[in-house]
Structure 1
Amino acid sequence: MTGPDPAWSGVGMWHVMLFYFLLAGSSAYALWKGGAPERIAAVIILLATLFTLLVAPDKSWVFGSVHAGIFLVDLSMFVALVALALHADRFWPLWMSAMQGFGVFGHISVWLAPSIKPVVYAATHAIASYPILILLAFATYRHLRRVSANGADPSWAEPSYAPMRAGA
């Protein structure tokens, strides 16, 4: 093959540019206008993106096999989103956690069945990452609507258990 590698020459990389556009827009919107859960989710997503770039700085890894560093970043993001979902007074963190979990299972699937084609492995990441960013923007919009309608939007759920009393 002569010339630059078409996979990294910018040709056909519109989806990467779209990802960074959505990342910048949804994160900035959440950090600027979101409640605490939206802002925390934005920070989680931004940190996961940064750490992904740090653990895989070269472009030689192209979904041919599982990259342990990226798997750990994705798993950490999943755990952080689940923790957010358990404490936030919102439903969307559950959806976001499920989407990220789908991406984590993509890694596990390739470990269990290395014959999975790289395009399928890449698709599991795309299926998870783009909707997460869109969901963050929508969640921020809904937060603003609740604040406008109700004057406030509680960020954190009250515990759903009653403390046990002595002698009860």
Structure 2
Amino acid sequence: MGRIGAGIIIFKTVAGFCTSILDQSWSHTLYPVLAVDTTCLGAFVILGLQSDRNWPLWTSGCALAAVAVHLGSISKVGIDPKIYHGLRSLWAFPMQLFMVRGIVLDSRYRRSCEKMAAKLRNWP
């Protein structure tokens, strides 16, 4: 699951960078970036539903917040374009932190389970 999540984040980073280069205007919503963020939200939700771990759900929450920033910009709720562009990329950082922390905790749990199983196999 960790490699799939990392792949989704790499896709989001590269595709978001490429699509934001195409349109560098600060005056309106960037619909190609919204499409990338929505795609990543769907991928993380699917990953979260198939996983027995918690970090895909946390990253899904960050992706949902990123999409909500776009939707707020579309609805013209009075967001300053500079704030929109700042919030647009803000959610990438906690998303990556949740993923890394979740993968570290998963690997620790897996190692402790393997040690426990080895101890039980050697138990008289």
Aligned partners of 2:16 and 2:25: how far apart in 1?
A: 12
> What is the DSSP-based 3-state SS (H/G/I as helix, E as strand, rest coil) of the residue aligned with 1:113?
coil
Whether the aligned pair in 1 keeps the contact of 2:70 and 2:88 (CA below 8 Å) is: no
Q: 48, 61, 77: which one pairs with 1:98? A: 61
Say which structure is richer in helix. 2
Question: Is 2:45 the partner of 1:54?
Answer: no
Q: Which runs of 4+ in 1 moved over 4 A?
A: none
Q: Deviation at 1:54?
A: 2.3
1:59–1:108 CA distance, 2 compared to 1 (3 A): closer
Whether the aligned pair in 2 keeps the contact of 1:96 and 1:132 (CA below 8 Å) is: yes
Matched letter for residue 12 of structure 2: A
Equivalent residue, structure 1, for 2:101: 138
Equivalent residue, structure 2, for 1:84: 47
Whether the aligned pair in 2 keeps the contact of 1:78 and 1:97 (CA below 8 Å) is: yes
Larger relative contact order (Cα-Cα within 8 Å, sequence gap ≥ 6): 1
What TM-score comes out, normalization by structure 2 length?
0.83
- Identity rate of aligned residues, in percent? 23
Q: CA RMSD in A?
A: 1.8
Q: Deviation at 1:59?
A: 7.0
Matched letter for residue 16 of structure 2: T
Aligned partners of 1:144 and 1:42: how far apart in 2?
A: 15
Whether the aligned pair in 2 keeps the contact of 1:110 and 1:121 (CA below 8 Å) is: yes
Whether the aligned pair in 1 keeps the contact of 2:23 and 2:30 (CA below 8 Å) is: no
Q: Deviation at 1:123?
A: 3.6
Aligned partners of 1:84 and 1:42: how far apart in 2?
A: 12
User: Number of residue pairs matched?
Assistant: 115
Q: Deviation at 1:82?
A: 0.3
Q: Deviation at 1:112?
A: 0.3
Question: Is 2:75 the partner of 1:112?
Answer: yes
Q: Deviation at 1:126?
A: 3.9
Question: Is 2:110 the partner of 1:147?
Answer: yes
Listed as ranges, the gaps of 5+ residues in structure 2 are: 116-124
What TM-score comes out, normalization by structure 1 length?
0.63
Aligned partners of 2:46 and 2:108: how far apart in 1?
A: 25
Listed as ranges, the gaps of 5+ residues in structure 1 are: 1-36, 153-168
